[in-house]
């Protein structure tokens, strides 16, 4: 038809206003026709028409959303003309529609299936014209929704011909015709509380949950790459995936991560950086003890406050709620095993109960991630550790050599950029030297080296002044690092050299083949511990008479092993301890050893640890049982442990059935011949050649029986005499020692 002028009117019925059609009299137009309505010389709108007898001829009636969109007023004259669609270019392939409740008071939180909604929409509005920015009302499940057309893609021409899709990117169009195989995608309006489920709810590329400019080194984290990738796989992979696929899999997000490990290894740092890594809101960081309150019910209320925001958002936005991260530092302070608290209030128990119900109770939240940190995972209530709560348990252990290189690079990067790090500082060499150092200890090492370097530029006069001329050329050198390594910073889980060097201060006197054999066997056991995957635990017992040098040999084998963790469990550190505290001290040594990749524990003077005395006989059964368990307990997977025990009472250990706990036993003999004793004197270099010849003559062919430790005492005693009497005094002391005296008779 030719363009004609018609008068805009109000839609006659509510039912017709839901059809998205303009309503005319049947004398003017036919139902299903498409028309262009020109409201001003520059504004045209396309509508599909329906006929109704109540509309006066020459009038065209519009619903309220249509009048809003087209800017029409009642009684306005408009120019109406026919509109014909080009079916090859103007069929709708995909249409994105923004949806919200029509009236705010009729909102509800029940989820609406967008797939069913899309099917209903196509059925209701098939063969109708739609334009971008168009507003309309849609009735679904007895609820009215306000819609706005956001985007229209034309249908692939090959699909219209019944051929497979060409795969070309589709044209965007302003006006399109809805057909049976059009795709409708619903997107929730920004501030809407509507909950959509199903595949047809979004096609936009979702904003990634991971921050695009996130970088390990910038964040100051080193040596935790594997731990980060494991946490990502378990906790964030499901949050990065499109929600409809996650929904179809019936997959629930991980809600809790527990980070545990030795102090100073980066647990708190890691948790802090997880918040920065994610495009989530700022995490809430809570120190465990801050939760507790002296008033009844306040501690539980503090827990509820932490989750209140997430709860409110979940009710309002449902599946579209953002991620809320709550970080608990020192989790063991509030989540101890229930029923173990000595206090009558049981406040810890109720706090644990409250936390359990919030993370995974009846009204569970799906928009939270709780990160807990502790270096005492054994104290935490078991109910918190099951899947659905803190289900990802990640040990943040001591960094390996590659990790130490990363950490040292992070802490020296600023110095390097300002040319304050000397050329002779080799980070790889430092990493090799700092076995078993935690991240915090490596940072401390860098600080100590910086202090040493600064100290060189301070004038030590009556006043403290900085030598500004030299300070301009300040550089931290390798010597500064090495000095700090030897004097200032010692690893908590490392080798305490002073600990075992006191046992071998006089060196090892190789007075004969027996000593060489012991050291060779010790070297073999060290290699076995290092290289064998079948025996991660090797326990050896060095037994022999008193004063024969068992502890010195054990300390020497431990030192030569070059293991990153060496500890001596010695009775002298447990004087006055009760049986229970002695057991705990021994267990702590072993627990620390399990944290290192390679460890050596020397259990010295076992019968003293057991409080054994022959009168009675009496011993501590509690300590015996603890040692029996620890000597047989294999270290955790990937860790290796060498245990060296020493005893002078093999017979007693045999009776206590303790010998079976050791893989092998090595006997350390006393010096038994005159020739061996003379060799020992020569190695010690205490007497002159003439004096040694005299002693050798006296001892030729004789049998003796003396430990090397006792021999050292006798020699030192003799050397206090005048030179003429030293040999005589030594031989007298040797005879008095109770050796086989026949050689002097």
What confidence tens digit (pLDDT) does each residue in 318-342 have? 666 778 888 888 888 778 787 765 4
Average pLDDT for 374-385: 84
Kindly name the residue from 305, 414, 573, 632 that is annotated as catalytic.
632
Nearest-angstrom CA–CA distance, 329 and 257: 12
Is the pLDDT at 742 greater than 60, yes or no?
no
Class of the CATH domain delimited by 214-393: alpha beta
- Residue 317: its pLDDT value, please? 66
CB atoms within 10 A of CB 387: 12
Nearest-angstrom CA–CA distance, 153 and 169: 9
Helix (H) or strand (E) holding 247: helix 243-249
Alpha helices by DSSP H, listed for 92-145, are 114-124
DSSP assignment string, 345-382: S-HHHHHHHHHHHHHHSSS--SSEEEEEEES-GGGB-G
Active site residue 550: yes
Helix (H) or strand (E) holding 70: helix 64-70
The CATH fold of domain 670-735? Helicase, Ruva Protein; domain 3 (1.10.8)
pTM of the model as a whole: 0.63
CB-CB contact of 62 with 22 (8 Å) = yes
Q: Compare 5 and 318 and report the one with higher pLDDT.
A: 5
Of all residues in the chain, the percent with pLDDT exceeding 90 is: 17
pLDDT digits (tens, 9 = 90+) for 67-119: 888 888 888 888 888 888 887 788 888 888 888 888 877 777 778 888 888 88
Phi, psi of 189 (to 5 degrees): -60, 150
For domain 495-665, give its CATH number from 3.40.50.300, 3.30.360.10, 2.60.40.10, 3.30.413.10. 3.40.50.300
Active site residue 604: yes
- Residue 319: its pLDDT value, please? 63
DSSP assignment string, 525-562: HHHHHHH-SS-SEEEEEEE-STTSSHHHHHHHHHHHHT
Is the pLDDT at 200 greater than 60, yes or no?
no
Nearest-angstrom CA–CA distance, 617 and 597: 40
- Residue 392: its pLDDT value, please? 85
pLDDT digits (tens, 9 = 90+) for 472-526: 778 888 988 988 888 878 887 766 666 667 777 777 888 888 899 999 999 999 9
Topology agreement, domain 2-80 and domain 89-195: no
- State how far Cα 491 lies from the chain centre: 21
- 507 φψ region: left (φ > 0), alpha (ψ -120 to 50), beta (else): left
Average pLDDT for 424-443: 88
Nearest-angstrom CA–CA distance, 173 and 86: 12
Active site residue 632: yes
The CATH fold of domain 399-486? Helicase, Ruva Protein; domain 3 (1.10.8)
Q: Rg for the chain (alpha carbons), in Å?
A: 42
pLDDT digits (tens, 9 = 90+) for 567-576: 889 898 888 8
Is the pLDDT at 13 greater than 50, yes or no?
yes
Kindly name the residue from 201, 336, 358, 550 that is annotated as catalytic.
550
pLDDT digits (tens, 9 = 90+) for 38-76: 888 888 889 999 999 888 888 999 998 888 888 888 888
Q: How far is CA 133 from CA 45, 50, 130, 511, in A?
A: 11, 22, 9, 99
Nearest-angstrom CA–CA distance, 557 and 522: 6
Average pLDDT for 124-149: 87
Long-range contacts of 337-341 (CB under 8 A, 24+ apart): 337/379, 337/380, 337/381, 337/382, 338/381, 338/383
- Residue 615: its pLDDT value, please? 87
Active site residue 745: no
Active site residue 105: no
* Least confident span in 254-268, 448-462, 555-569, 576-590: 448-462
Q: How far is CA 75 from CA 72, 187, 205, in A?
A: 9, 35, 45
89-195 placed in CATH 3.30.390.10: no
Residues 6+ apart with CB under 8 A from 507: none
Q: How far is CA 527 from CA 535, 557, 664, in A?
A: 11, 11, 15
Q: Is the peptide bond before 617 cis (omega within 30 degrees of 0)?
A: yes
pLDDT digits (tens, 9 = 90+) for 164-178: 666 666 788 888 888
Average pLDDT for 533-550: 92
Average pLDDT of the chain, as a whole number: 83
The CATH architecture that domain 2-80 belongs to is: Beta Barrel (2.40)
Is the pLDDT at 622 greater than 90, yes or no?
yes
Active site residue 172: no
CB atoms within 10 A of CB 699: 21
CB-CB contact of 595 with 635 (8 Å) = no
- Residue 616: its pLDDT value, please? 78
Of all residues in the chain, the percent with pLDDT exceeding 70 is: 88
DSSP assignment string, 564-595: SEEEEE-GGGGTT--HHHHHHHHHHHHHHHHT
Most confidently predicted of 221-225, 280-284, 398-402, 548-552 = 548-552
- Residue 629: its pLDDT value, please? 95
Half-sphere exposure of 605 (CA within 13 A, CB side): 18
Give residue limits of the domains in the chain. 2-80, 89-195, 214-393, 399-486, 495-665, 670-735
- Residue 537: its pLDDT value, please? 94
Kindly name the residue from 587, 709, 729, 732 that is annotated as catalytic.
709
CB-CB contact of 490 with 564 (8 Å) = no
Retrieve residue 650's tokens.
Answer: 């093999």
In the DSSP assignment, the letter for residue 141 is: T
CB-CB contact of 673 with 703 (8 Å) = yes
Phi, psi of 464 (to 5 degrees): -90, 115
Q: How far is CA 279 from CA 217, 239, 240, 272, in A?
A: 19, 11, 11, 13
Kindly name the residue from 604, 640, 646, 710 that is annotated as catalytic.
604
pLDDT digits (tens, 9 = 90+) for 362-373: 777 778 888 888
Kindly name the residue from 374, 412, 495, 551 that is annotated as catalytic.
551
- 238 φψ region: left (φ > 0), alpha (ψ -120 to 50), beta (else): alpha
């Amino acid at each position: 038809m030719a363009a004609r002028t018609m008068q805009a009117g109000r839609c006659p019925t509510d039912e017709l206003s839901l059809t998205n059609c303009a309503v005319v009299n049947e004398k003017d137009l036919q139902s299903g026709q498409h028309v262009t309505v020109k409201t001003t010389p520059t504004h045209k709108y396309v509508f599909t028409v329906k006929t109704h007898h109540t509309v006066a001829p020459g009038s065209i009636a519009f619903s309220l959303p249509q009048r809003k969109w087209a800017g029409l007023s009642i009684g306005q004259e408009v120019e109406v003309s026919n509109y014909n669609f080009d079916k090859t270019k103007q069929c709708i392939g995909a249409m994105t529609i923004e949806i919200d409740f029509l009236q705010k008071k009729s909102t509800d939180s029940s989820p609406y299936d967008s797939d069913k909604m899309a099917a209903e929409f196509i059925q209701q509005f098939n063969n109708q014209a739609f334009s971008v920015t168009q507003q309309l009302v849609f009735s679904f499940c007895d609820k009215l929704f306000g819609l706005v057309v956001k985007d229209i893609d034309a249908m692939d021409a090959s699909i219209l011909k019944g051929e497979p899709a060409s795969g070309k990117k589709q044209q965007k169009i302003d006006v399109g015709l809805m057909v049976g195989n059009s795709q409708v995608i619903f997107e929730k309006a920004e501030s809407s509380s509507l909950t959509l489920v199903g595949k047809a709810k979004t096609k936009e590329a979702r904003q990634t949950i991971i921050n695009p400019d996130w970088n390990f080194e910038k964040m100051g984290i080193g040596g935790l790459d594997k731990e980060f990738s494991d946490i990502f796989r378990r906790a964030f992979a499901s949050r990065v995936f499109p929600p409809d696929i996650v929904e179809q899999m019936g997959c629930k997000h991980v809600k809790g991560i527990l980070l545990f490990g030795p102090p100073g290894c980066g647990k708190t740092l890691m948790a802090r950086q997880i918040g920065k890594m994610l495009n989530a809101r700022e995490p809430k960081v809570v120190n465990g003890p801050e939760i507790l309150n002296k008033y009844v019910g306040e501690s539980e209320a503090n827990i509820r406050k932490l989750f209140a925001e997430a709860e409110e958002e979940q009710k309002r936005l449902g599946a579209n709620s953002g991620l809320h991260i709550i970080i608990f530092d020192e989790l063991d302070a509030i989540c101890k095993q229930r029923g173990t608290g000595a206090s009558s209030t049981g406040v810890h128990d109720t706090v644990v109960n409250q936390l359990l119900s919030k993370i995974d109770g009846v009204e569970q939240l799906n928009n939270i991630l709780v990160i807990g940190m502790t270096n005492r995972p054994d104290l935490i209530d078991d109910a918190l550790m099951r899947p659905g709560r803190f289900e990802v348990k990640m040990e943040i252990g001591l960094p390996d050599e590659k990790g130490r290189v990363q950490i040292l690079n992070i802490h020296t990067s600023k110095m390097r950029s300002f040319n304050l790090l000397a050329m002779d500082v080799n980070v790889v060499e430092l990493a090799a030297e700092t076995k078993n150092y935690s991240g915090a200890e490596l940072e401390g090492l860098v600080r100590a080296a910086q202090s040493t370097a600064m100290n060189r530029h301070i004038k030590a006069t009556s006043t403290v002044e900085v030598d500004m001329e030299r300070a301009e050329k300040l550089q931290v050198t390798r010597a500064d690092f090495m000095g700090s390594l030897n004097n200032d910073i010692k690893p908590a889980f490392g080798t305490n050299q002073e600990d075992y060097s006191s046992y071998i201060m006089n060196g090892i006197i190789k007075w004969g083949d027996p000593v060489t054999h012991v050291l060779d066997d010790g070297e073999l056991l060290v290699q076995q511990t290092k290289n064998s995957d079948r025996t991660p635990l090797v326990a050896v017992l060095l037994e022999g008479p008193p004063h024969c040098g068992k502890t010195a040999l054990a300390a020497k084998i431990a030192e030569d092993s070059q293991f990153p963790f060496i500890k001596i469990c010695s009775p002298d550190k447990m004087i006055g301890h009760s049986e229970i505290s002695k057991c705990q001290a021994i267990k702590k040594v072993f627990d620390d050893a399990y944290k290192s990749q390679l460890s050596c524990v020397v259990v010295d003077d076992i019968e003293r640890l057991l409080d054994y005395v022959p009168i009675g006989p009496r011993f501590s059964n509690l300590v015996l049982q603890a040692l029996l368990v620890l000597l047989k307990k294999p270290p955790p997977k990937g860790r290796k442990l060498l245990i060296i025990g020493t005893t002078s009472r093999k017979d007693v250990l045999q009776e206590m059935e303790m010998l079976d706990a050791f893989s092998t036993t090595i006997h350390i003999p006393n010096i038994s011949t005159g020739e061996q004793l003379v060799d020992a004197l020569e190695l010690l270099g205490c007497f002159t050649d003439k004096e040694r010849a005299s002693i050798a003559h006296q001892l030729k062919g004789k049998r003796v029986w003396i430990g090397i430790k006792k021999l050292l005492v006798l020699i030192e005693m003799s050397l206090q005499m005048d030179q003429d009497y030293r040999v005589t005094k030594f031989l007298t002391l040797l005879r008095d020692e109770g050796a086989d005296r026949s050689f002097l008779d």
